[in-house]
Structure 1
């Protein structure tokens, strides 16, 4: 028995141009709750079912983030459209197959470039690619390699298209220059935000109202979908690199340090793991964890799963009860950070002496915060000697971790 489903009722308003555009690049920046990812997840299976020779490549910076994001969202979308019986979602290998034709949605990560350049499809052509969280791609060359892989002649009526969806954290990102600053008929570049999402509840809108009042810089990006302003960056000497943590750890003079910042509803908990050489003035940030809504037992579990339960971890000392509780869960060497007078400024000035190298694939939130962590300004635009209280969760965790280097005698047993 067939069942008709209204796409208008499923998707709502605000995305007509996005849905109909057939040019090479379809780029949508937006805030949280703006429907950009949901709409992309509807568009792909809907159009694959209309065009029986089209296949899709879905990309994220790191492959292992697909299963709980794009793969799950596409599976949700086919269920909402009432066509789940026509699709098979496999976990090994991670893919989705349209049963009537054998067309596939393939999932790849930029952390495995060979898996992208060697893609072949059994049925039809690789027509479309969707880059979710495209802002995390800091290197334009990484995007270009995928862009060049979507090539070749297509049958009449088919078209090649790359869709990019992201939160616009930093106005200096290459995405702005390439897709938003220069008009191009082959590019659809749009901005959306939560105001076009008629499916949000009053509690969701209340959260945005709170953010606008208390976190205006974050609301500019996550609320309005505007570019984040990166003027006055606290840390300028940093870059991304794909390095082997074990190789760096073997080099003379490197010490592993770990920092933890607590959060819950409005702010995430953040764990930062780094290798530091005090003499060479280098910090290699090799791992992170960044998540909202974590209880203390969740934090302890993540630390154990990552293999850091025996490491010295310096945590936000404003929550001694949390530190004691996490210690009770088996993280025996966790300790509170120094929260003395001017500790934030002193910690920042110490870190600014170092070159910061962030792991290209394992630490996306560190990169976002380094891009967005800026000095505060007064009403006349003069920079003050204090950072804005936002985009600072991994930054605070890094500052706590670096106390082991700045004040080593404090952490001796």
Structure 2
């Protein structure tokens, strides 16, 4: 590293010096968006892997398919940033990264296949480090503990250490991560835990920085989480009847056979969203299993997205405030897309209806989880909560309301979309 005259201090910038050097068993960072926590972690692991020949790294996300577009890409970027990319072999298909001079490995797994984690072995050294990225998506503490138990072994090198690194954006103060790593009374022993924000990211461009700053004016509750990296506060939430739960969507669809799809539309400032759920009317349960959330989508983009999800023939309720867009999509082939029914107090009625269900959110639906954890009632000048929700943090929730209209407005219930839902899952 010194021969290439790279200054690590200049490379990582400010805010992460203690994190970089920490050898605590648990090294935990919760942070705002744009706080460079993932990029810094990637740089740190490439640097450390070259320094310690006995080390191998396991990178874990809730779903294995998300590693390739996130952690794998970040580690590949880090090797290039350190001018050592030629020393590593990058296997895109697995994915897997090998340090060529020694054969040390960086392995990638998802908690959706725990057996592939507990049975991992390495040829060189030992599996002594693990990085849990976007750990907020891990809904069960016991799943996390199972992986931690696979980080074991010892070495006669006096510098040997085992370590679990955890990085995430916080959303709800009731998540087990807060109790385990940030509450003083219950914090795990040998833990280094910090909170970072976008302010320590010198390389964040001016437009992104201005957008974060403006959030304090337009949406203070969301700014607390997105900008300050603090926990979402449950007080004043519109919904307290939801929980994050892993479930087999295919089995739910086969069992209940009542499917609902809803869409909300946006462009520059608001996203276009689509949410899909299984509706158990008898037991008053909604099982949200799929979502889509993206800014700047054209009509053609939306059509391609719906096509990709195999929902061209599905019964979809979209925001009636965009009749031209709905008409264009119908003309392209989204034949059963129709506008929502809006009238006096329709938002309130729709929310009341949803509050009568137990809502289960699949952990892959990250934007849905974020909205349910921040959608709150308005407050008056004295800070008292009013019986009127803020029109913020609700683009998925609005789409969900639209999808439920046919159940509480007396519309026909025979259009289930079961075939399309199963087809979109490859069945």
TM-score for the superposition, normalised by structure 2:
0.91
Name the counterpart of 1:384. Answer: 386
SS in structure 1 of the partner of residue 411 of structure 2: helix
Name the counterpart of 1:364. Answer: 366
Question: Does residue 193 in structure 1 map to residue 197 in structure 2?
Answer: yes
CA RMSD of aligned residues (A): 2.0
Distance change in 2, residues 1:208/1:368 (3 Å): closer
Residue by residue over 1:175-215, the C-alpha shift from the partner in whole angstroms, topping out at 9 and shown as x without a partner, is 11111111666111111111111112221221112212112
Question: Does residue 223 in structure 1 map to residue 227 in structure 2?
Answer: yes
SS in structure 2 of the partner of residue 169 of structure 1: coil
Aligned runs of 1:267-346 on 2, under 5 Å?
267-346=270-349
SS in structure 1 of the partner of residue 202 of structure 2: coil
Cα separation, 2, equivalents of 1:287 and 1:303: 12
Aligned partners of 1:217 and 1:390 also within 8 Å: no
Aligned partners of 1:23 and 1:185 also within 8 Å: no
- Runs (5+) with no aligned partner, structure 2: 416-427
Name the counterpart of 2:52. Answer: 51
Question: Does residue 6 in structure 1 map to residue 7 in structure 2?
Answer: yes
Distance change in 2, residues 1:408/1:251 (3 Å): farther
- Following superposition, the deviation at residue 9 of structure 1 comes to 2.4
Distance change in 2, residues 1:97/1:315 (3 Å): same
Name the counterpart of 1:349. Answer: 352
- Following superposition, the deviation at residue 89 of structure 1 comes to 1.5
Name the counterpart of 1:232. Answer: 236
SS in structure 2 of the partner of residue 149 of structure 1: coil
Aligned partners of 1:27 and 1:179 also within 8 Å: yes
Aligned partners of 1:257 and 1:404 also within 8 Å: no
Cα separation, 2, equivalents of 1:389 and 1:114: 43
Name the counterpart of 1:245. Answer: 249
User: Which of 387, 404, 407 is the matching residue for 1:405?
Assistant: 407
- Following superposition, the deviation at residue 408 of structure 1 comes to 4.4
Question: Does residue 17 in structure 1 map to residue 18 in structure 2?
Answer: yes
Distance change in 2, residues 1:412/1:125 (3 Å): closer
Cα separation, 2, equivalents of 1:220 and 1:37: 20
User: Which of 154, 163, 166 is the matching residue for 1:164?
Assistant: 166
Cα separation, 2, equivalents of 1:120 and 1:44: 19
Aligned partners of 2:180 and 2:188 also within 8 Å: no
Aligned partners of 2:221 and 2:374 also within 8 Å: no
Aligned partners of 2:375 and 2:393 also within 8 Å: yes
SS in structure 1 of the partner of residue 222 of structure 2: helix
Cα separation, 2, equivalents of 1:365 and 1:202: 25
Cα separation, 1, equivalents of 2:223 and 2:343: 30
Residue by residue over 1:73-101, the C-alpha shift from the partner in whole angstroms, topping out at 9 and shown as x without a partner, is 11111111111111121122111111111
* Alignment coverage as a number of residue pairs: 411
